[in-house]
Amino acid sequence: MKNPIFITYFVIIPLFAAFSIALIGKYVRRLYVDIASSVFCFLLLFFSFYSVAVLRNSANPAMVYNVGGWIPPFGICMVLDGLSSFMLVTVNLVAFFICIYSLSYMEKYTDKPKFFTLFFLMLAGMNGLIVTGDLFNLFVFLEIASIASYALVAFGTEAEELEASFKYAIMGSVASSFIFIGIAFLYGFTSTLNMADMARILSTKANIWVMPFVAVLFLMGFGLKAALVPFHAWLPDAHPSAPASISAMLSGVLIKTLGVYAMIRIFFNILGITDIYLSALMFLGGLSLITAVILALSQWDLKRLLAYHSISQIGYIFLGIGLGTPLGILGGLFHLFNHSVFKSLLFLNSGAIDYAINTRDLREMSGLKQKMPVTANTNLIASMSIAGIPPFNGFFSKLIIILACIQKGFLGYAVIAVIGSLLTLSSFMKVQKYAFLGELKEKYRHIKEVPLAMRLSMTGLAIICIFGGLMLLSDVKFFLDSAVNVLLEGRNYAQAVLEAALR
Amino acid sequence: MIDNPKTGMSLIVKTITRLTVGLILLFGIYIVLHGHLSPGGGFAGGVIIALSLVHLILAFGRDAKVSKISMNLASNLESLGALMFLSVALLGFLGGSFFLNVFKKGAPFKLFSSGTIPFSNIAISLKVGVGLFAIFLALIILEGTKRKK
Amino acid sequence: MTLYFLCLILFCIGLYGVLRKRNLVKIIVGLGIIEYSMNLFFVLLGYKMHGRAPIDAQNQDILNMVDPIPQALVLTSIVIGLGVTALLISIAIRIYDKYGTFDITKIKRLKG
């Protein structure tokens, strides 16, 4: 395609939605705000599927849109290649279901139009970060998404939410300042900000002290956004305190876009990976896996337990990607998609339980299966996915990661992955026993199932969990393969983008 | 103009404020409009415009009529500023590309030149100015409700 | 070269403020110092000896200007810092309403 205009729609539509809902939200009826936000989310989902179809049918591996008509490196460009379209589908699919869920969940909080303003701002920041081709533009969108998420964590303004939001905001800002210093060093070293141009210049310069220094700065900055283990301390406080749809959004897509996607884009395509970076990523991934799952064994707060498991599954993703082989990266990216789906479903379930009985403590609940069948069944499906039981989608991605570890000879990491999986299974059997099975307590006789919108979105995500394993069939596998190829070709990304920009 | 000694600051501050606050506002508007010719532009000009309104509230206390602007009006104006900026960017689609500069670019160094840049400056200054003023209003309303308790 | 080391020392002073101070407002001030030092470092990267300000006025040479790109980016970064500081201050005021203190050793309800 000569000028792929639809790439700009991913940034324009959420920004327009955010500010128009802020303007008219107080003056129209509640129904119109609901319909408007669902329509905007559905438009974004449609365009993300369209981008995958367009990319498959075109001959070139990347499509570039020059903003304002300026050719890079003089102007900012928006790049759509295999990895970007994969991340766009993940983010917009999960965001669509969460938007439908919050139509009835946010009735319990005040001021729904302001919630949707912040939600669409966060979505605009994430979408913009995925499609951009310029390093400082990445930093600006990262800050937009982060500031919106700091405000969303404190949305209910109870005492615990404010404390958690303050801690998250301070740590996130320090991490952003490390990323900014890294970008400053790279600009001083190569005198350009365009990612493709920088990759081309860096492959011609000799290897001096700047590149490992910048790599460590980015590892610290993006590692805090992705919640790897030495930098994870904000996540167990921030994710339980947020409203349930925001917890699902944070844990399901935000830590993956701002943390995992930005780090692998910079490490694989711009700086150029060597064995030492890969072994650092694998070590941090393995450490997160085992530490977080042990810390989760003693939790009695349902959402705090889910938050610790998020850290552990991010460890799986980094273990897969850090292997560097095609099978390993395939496993890591597939696990990224699967984890977005089933972790969002688990948080939406905990929100449904919270909506019905107003508590998150596992010792207070029991026997909810009789009164809330949809919640109980979708929770069973999601728990079996995260523990890795066939035929749900979590099983396939974990199997690929463990096989790739054995294939490359890292038997120690494979054993750690299997132990982590067993401990995850035990944690979720505990959740099932305490929350859903057993006798129904006296004070819960009158609770009902949650409203229709929440049930619809939970069922939709559960269906994707069941049929997720079919993504490995050879017809559909191009979706993952195009993403894997972008990472494997490393710095040749620059050539594909610069050629496409001049066309 | 009667000086109420119970609210706001002393008489000297109130007199100087009456003389200079209009000039500060005018200076802010000058920086916004000449953003394409000299340093400044939308952000800096918007901050100065907000500061002139804050100056009024600080000097006159409860008497200043500006403090009666409700939060609703401030928040609506802010969203309007953002939508204006987005529409200036979408105007570029008429020329063929997002954010393209489609108006006539006149002779260099004149006030009416360089296409759509003055319009984006005005939109940004509206949003930044009203946004900062709304933050200030939110903080003093919080203080006011605490003092009533 | 000494200018860059002084920027690093300013960054470390700000980081000390964030890590060791016990009052919430002092932590926010430390974060502000970190952001000032980052912006200063980025602007200094574009400096040329005996360069002049990058403003294109009539009847003057275009040569011998300092680099204008870092100045534009730092403007954006200053506004981002303003937004974060405003959000943190309002959260700190509400924490004082709920907990009654600004001391972080007493604001510890989330544990484990």
pLDDT band at B96 (very low <50, low <70, confident <90, very high): low
* pLDDT of res. B21: 92
What is the count of structural domains for chain B?
1
- Structural element, H or E, at residue A467: helix A452-467
ipTM of this predicted structure: 0.94
Number of C-beta neighbours around residue A475 at 10 A:
8
Chain A nearest C-alpha distance from C16 (Å): 12
Residues of A in contact with C7 (CB under 8 A): none
pLDDT band at B149 (very low <50, low <70, confident <90, very high): low
CB contact under 8 A, A177 and C35: yes
- Give the nearest chain C residue to B39 (CA atoms): C55
| Mean model confidence pLDDT for chain A | 88
Tokens of A333: 């990216």
CB contact under 8 A, C95 and A154: no
In this complex, which of A22, A67, A68 lies closest to B79 when CB atoms are compared? A22
B121 and B42 Cβ atoms separated by less than 8 Å: yes
B1-24 confidence digits (pLDDT tens): 667 777 778 888 888 998 999 999
A125-141 confidence digits (pLDDT tens): 999 999 998 899 999 99
Q: Mean pLDDT lowest for which of A107-116, B24-33, B85-94, C84-93? A: B85-94
Chain A nearest C-alpha distance from B24 (Å): 29
Check if C93 contacts A (Cβ < 8 Å).
Answer: no
Q: C11-26 b/e with 16+ CB inside 10 Å = b?
A: beebbebbeeeeebee
Residues of B in contact with A23 (CB under 8 A): 76, 79-80, 83
Which domains can be identified in chain C, with CATH numbers?
2-48+65-99 (1.10.287.3510)
- Give the nearest chain C residue to B41 (CA atoms): C75
Backbone angles phi, psi at A104, to 5 degrees: -105, -20
- The answer to the question of residue B5 being in a domain is no
In this complex, which of B38, B43, B138 lies closest to C75 when CB atoms are compared? B43
CB contact under 8 A, C97 and B146: yes
CB contact under 8 A, A169 and C88: yes
Chain B nearest C-alpha distance from A16 (Å): 7
Counting other chains too, the contacts that C69-75 makes at CB distance below 8 Å and 24 or more residues apart are: C69/A187, C69/A193, C70/A184, C70/A187, C70/C42, C70/C43, C70/C45, C70/C46, C71/C43, C71/C46, C73/A136, C73/C42, C74/C39, C74/C42, C74/C43, C75/B43
* pLDDT of res. A444: 76
Check if A233 contacts C (Cβ < 8 Å).
Answer: no
Q: Mean pLDDT lowest for which of A300-309, B89-98, C80-89? A: B89-98
Tokens of A459: 């069922």
Backbone angles phi, psi at A282, to 5 degrees: -65, -40
Residue, of A491 and A123, whose pLDDT is higher: A123
Residue whose C-alpha is closest to residue A262's, from A83, A77, A52, A73: A83
Check if B13 contacts A (Cβ < 8 Å).
Answer: no
Q: How many residues does chain C have?
A: 112
Check if B70 contacts A (Cβ < 8 Å).
Answer: no
C95 and A163 Cβ atoms separated by less than 8 Å: yes
Chain A nearest C-alpha distance from B60 (Å): 31
3-state secondary structure of A66: strand
C64-105 confidence digits (pLDDT tens): 788 888 988 999 999 999 999 999 999 998 898 888 888 888
Residue whose C-alpha is closest to residue B69's, from A8, A18, B78: B78
| Mean model confidence pLDDT for chain C | 88
In this complex, which of C34, C45, C95 lies closest to A163 when CB atoms are compared? C95
Check if A143 contacts C (Cβ < 8 Å).
Answer: yes
* pLDDT of res. A69: 75
The DSSP output letter for B7 is: S
CB contact under 8 A, A68 and B76: no
Q: Mean pLDDT lowest for which of A49-58, A182-191, A289-298? A: A49-58
Q: Mean pLDDT lowest for which of A192-196, A391-395, B104-108, C94-98? A: B104-108
Chain A nearest C-alpha distance from C92 (Å): 8
- The answer to the question of residue B24 being in a domain is yes
A425 and A387 Cβ atoms separated by less than 8 Å: yes
Tokens of B45: 């000009």
B97-125 confidence digits (pLDDT tens): 666 666 666 666 777 777 778 888 999 99
CA–CA separation, A491 and A196 (whole Å): 8
Residues of A in contact with C107 (CB under 8 A): 163
CB contact under 8 A, B97 and A16: no
Check if B109 contacts C (Cβ < 8 Å).
Answer: yes
* pLDDT of res. B101: 66
A217 Cβ contact list (under 8 Å, min separation 6):
A178, A179, A181, A182, A185
Check if A160 contacts C (Cβ < 8 Å).
Answer: yes
Rounded to a whole number of angstroms, the CA Rg of chain C reads 19
Q: Mean pLDDT lowest for which of A1-5, A65-69, B14-18, C49-53? A: A1-5
In this complex, which of B82, B83, B97 lies closest to A68 when CB atoms are compared? B97
Check if C99 contacts A (Cβ < 8 Å).
Answer: yes
* pLDDT of res. A208: 78
**pTM, to two decimals:** 0.93
- The answer to the question of residue B4 being in a domain is no
Interface size between A and B, measured as CB pairs under 8 A: 41
In this complex, which of B39, B43, B146 lies closest to C55 when CB atoms are compared? B39
- Give the nearest chain A residue to C106 (CA atoms): A163
CA–CA separation, B77 and B72 (whole Å): 9
Domain that holds residue B128: 11-148
Residue whose C-alpha is closest to residue C79's, from B127, A257, A258, B34: B127
* pLDDT of res. A307: 92
Residues of C in contact with B138 (CB under 8 A): 90
CB contact under 8 A, A181 and C112: no
* pLDDT of res. A2: 64
3-state secondary structure of C41: helix
* pLDDT of res. A346: 93
CA–CA separation, A73 and A194 (whole Å): 6
* pLDDT of res. B2: 65
Residue with tokens 């500061």, as numbered in its chain: B51
- The answer to the question of residue B35 being in a domain is yes
Backbone angles phi, psi at B97, to 5 degrees: -150, 150
Chains with at least 3 CB pairs less than 8 angstroms from chain C: A, B
At residue A293, does pLDDT exceed 80? Answer: yes
* pLDDT of res. A98: 93
- The answer to the question of residue B1 being in a domain is no
Chain C nearest C-alpha distance from A17 (Å): 21
Chain A nearest C-alpha distance from B71 (Å): 13
A225-242 confidence digits (pLDDT tens): 999 988 998 999 898 888
Check if C25 contacts A (Cβ < 8 Å).
Answer: no
- Give the nearest chain B residue to C97 (CA atoms): B146
Q: B46-71 b/e with 16+ CB inside 10 Å = b?
A: bbbbbbbbbbbbbbbeebbeebebee
Q: Residues of A near B (CB-CB distance < 8 A)?
A: 3, 5, 8, 12, 15-16, 19-20, 22-23, 26, 65-69
Check if B100 contacts A (Cβ < 8 Å).
Answer: yes
CA–CA separation, A382 and A367 (whole Å): 18
pLDDT band at A317 (very low <50, low <70, confident <90, very high): very high
In this complex, which of A5, A22, A67 lies closest to B99 when CB atoms are compared? A67
pLDDT band at A40 (very low <50, low <70, confident <90, very high): very high
B45-91 confidence digits (pLDDT tens): 999 999 998 998 888 877 777 777 777 888 888 899 999 998 888 88
The CB-side HSE value for A56 (13 A sphere, CA atoms) comes to 14
Residues of B in contact with A15 (CB under 8 A): 82, 86
A150-188 confidence digits (pLDDT tens): 999 988 878 888 999 999 999 999 999 999 999 999 998
Residues of C in contact with B42 (CB under 8 A): none
In this complex, which of A162, A184, A241 lies closest to C98 when CB atoms are compared? A162
Check if B138 contacts C (Cβ < 8 Å).
Answer: yes
DSSP secondary structure, A110-144, as one string: S-HHHHHHHHHHHHHHHHHHHHB-BHHHHHHHHHH
